[in-house]
Structure formats: structure tokens, C-alpha cells
């Protein structure tokens, strides 16, 4: 896996990065996905939210967090009073990884650590342009992409961590909230509580 490094143009802003990512061949995931799904939001956003990877609906739409997980996330954001315009939303990897089942249905597959590493230069480029006050990682893939493979969301969720000049916080992934059965309310409450910590850092 060559990694995305050589595909990331130097000294360009978000529009240039968004255009260039469609040409990325940094790992094998570009082959099966319909397109790369780059982050979305303003360059002036005060928070960057990092998910895992685009899902089926995101791959079709070409936009991050537009499916069920995105809707739940938007609800949680509204609950803690974070303005959607203050948020830049992206993913640890930019191409959808899936397995095709029974002809048509595309089943989400977690990106490998190698693929996350290969894709990191895009995330780094986004963070360098947006320069957020706080970074919220949704789930282990995003948290480990930024904070390293030994980071455990279960142990450290909701903690503000100083990392390479940024304040980073990890929480549960909205898809995990949607998947949980018995403790769905509890998981959602965790997500909201952690987002409240991020919201506090954004108060004037
Ligand atoms: N889940 C993610 O992690 N990212 C998306 O963009 C959508 C679902
Ligand atoms: Fe490039 Fe990332 Fe897509 Fe792999 S997942 S091809 S590194 S943009």
C-alpha cells in the first residue's frame, strides 16, 4: 500500500484537496467504491468531527454522514447546542469499504489499520487547513487514527486530550448507538455527554 502522501497536493485549501482526493490510489479501496467522500464544512469551523469511513449512502451521495448514523449525530449535536456551521465533518478513510452480498447489497466492512494509515495524509491535510479548536473522534477507528492504536474509547471517552497542538476527544460512534439493543438509551446518553464536553470548549 503506497499511502495517500503522494496524492495530497501541497499548499492547497479544501476545494483543491476535495478535487485531488478523487484521484487517490493510496490504497486499494478506490477500486470498488463509487467515489471518494471528502470532508464537508467550512474552513472556519471550530470543531472537526472524524468518523470511520463513508457508508453505503455516503458513497452514493458523495457526502459524509448523510445516512442513519449522520441523522442520529445531528440530533445529538443539536441537543448540546453545537451549531452545524461550526463543524467540519470527515472520516478516517475516504472510500467506502464493503462486501457485496447476494448480488446487490453492500455490507459495511471496517477499514484495516493499514488502510487507515494509508489515508491519514488526507485527514492531516484537512486538520492543517481547518485548524479546529477541538477534534471529536467518533468510535475507535477515528480515535486510533489520531491518537494511536493503543487508545481505548471504552476507557477514555469524553476526556479532552492534548495531542499535537489540538484538543482531541473520543466518543462512541453513532452507528454503535444504532446497533445497540438493550442499552441504546445509555449509549446515546454517553454520546451526548461527551459532545457536551466538546461544546464547553467552544463557548466564547
Ligand atoms: N459512518 C461514518 O463513520 N462516517 C460516515 O460518513 C457515515 C457513517
Ligand atoms: Fe486514497 Fe484513502 Fe481512498 Fe485509500 S481510502 S484510495 S488512501 S482516499
Task: Render pLDDT for 56-104 as a digit per residue (tens, 0 to 9).
Answer: 999 999 999 999 999 999 999 999 999 888 999 999 999 999 999 887 7
Segment 9-66, tens digit of pLDDT: 999 999 999 999 999 999 999 999 999 999 999 999 999 999 999 999 999 999 999 9
Rounded Cα gap, residues 75 and 133, in angstroms: 22
Does 94 sit in the ligand 2 pocket, CB within 6 Å?
yes
Please give the distance, rounded to the nearest whole angstrom, from the Cα atom of residue 10 to the centre of ligand 2: 17
Does 4 sit in the ligand 2 pocket, CB within 6 Å?
yes
Q: Which of 17, 6, 77, 3 is nearest to 47 (CA)?
A: 77
Segment 115-169, tens digit of pLDDT: 999 999 999 999 999 999 999 999 999 999 999 999 999 999 999 999 999 999 9
Rounded Cα gap, residues 96 and 34, in angstroms: 8
Helix, strand, coil distribution of the chain in percent, nearest 5: 45, 15, 40
Q: Is the ipTM of this complex over 0.85?
A: yes
Q: So what CATH class is 5-201?
A: alpha beta
Please give the distance, rounded to the nearest whole angstrom, from the Cα atom of residue 159 to the centre of ligand 2: 29
DSSP strand pairing (161-163 vs 134-138): unpaired
The residues spanned by each domain of the chain are 5-201
Amino acid at each position: 500500500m503506497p499511502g495517500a502522501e503522494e496524492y495530497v497536493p501541497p499548499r492547497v485549501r479544501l476545494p483543491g484537496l476535495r478535487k485531488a482526493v478523487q484521484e487517490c490510489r493510496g490504497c486499494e479501496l478506490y477500486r470498488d467504491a463509487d467515489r471518494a467522500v471528502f470532508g464537508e464544512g467550512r474552513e472556519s469551523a471550530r470543531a472537526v468531527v472524524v468518523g470511520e469511513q463513508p457508508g453505503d449512502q455516503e458513497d452514493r451521495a458523495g457526502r459524509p454522514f448523510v445516512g442513519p448514523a449522520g441523522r442520529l449525530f445531528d440530533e445529538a449535536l443539536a441537543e448540546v447546542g453545537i451549531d452545524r456551521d461550526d463543524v467540519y465533518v470527515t472520516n478516517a478513510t475516504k472510500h467506502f469499504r464493503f462486501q457485496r452480498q447476494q448480488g446487490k447489497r453492500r455490507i459495511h466492512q471496517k477499514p484495516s489499520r493499514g488502510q487507515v494509515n494509508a489515508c491519514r495524509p488526507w485527514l492531516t491535510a484537512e486538520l492543517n487547513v481547518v485548524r479546529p479548536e477541538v477534534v471529536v473522534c467518533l468510535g475507535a477507528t477515528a480515535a486510533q487514527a489520531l491518537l494511536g492504536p493503543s487508545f481505548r474509547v471504552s476507557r477514555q471517552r469524553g476526556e479532552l486530550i492534548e495531542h499535537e497542538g489540538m484538543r482531541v476527544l473520543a466518543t462512541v460512534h453513532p452507528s454503535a448507538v444504532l446497533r445497540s439493543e438493550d442499552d441504546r438509551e445509555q449509549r446515546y446518553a454517553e454520546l451526548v455527554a461527551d459532545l457536551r464536553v466538546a461544546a464547553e470548549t467552544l463557548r466564547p
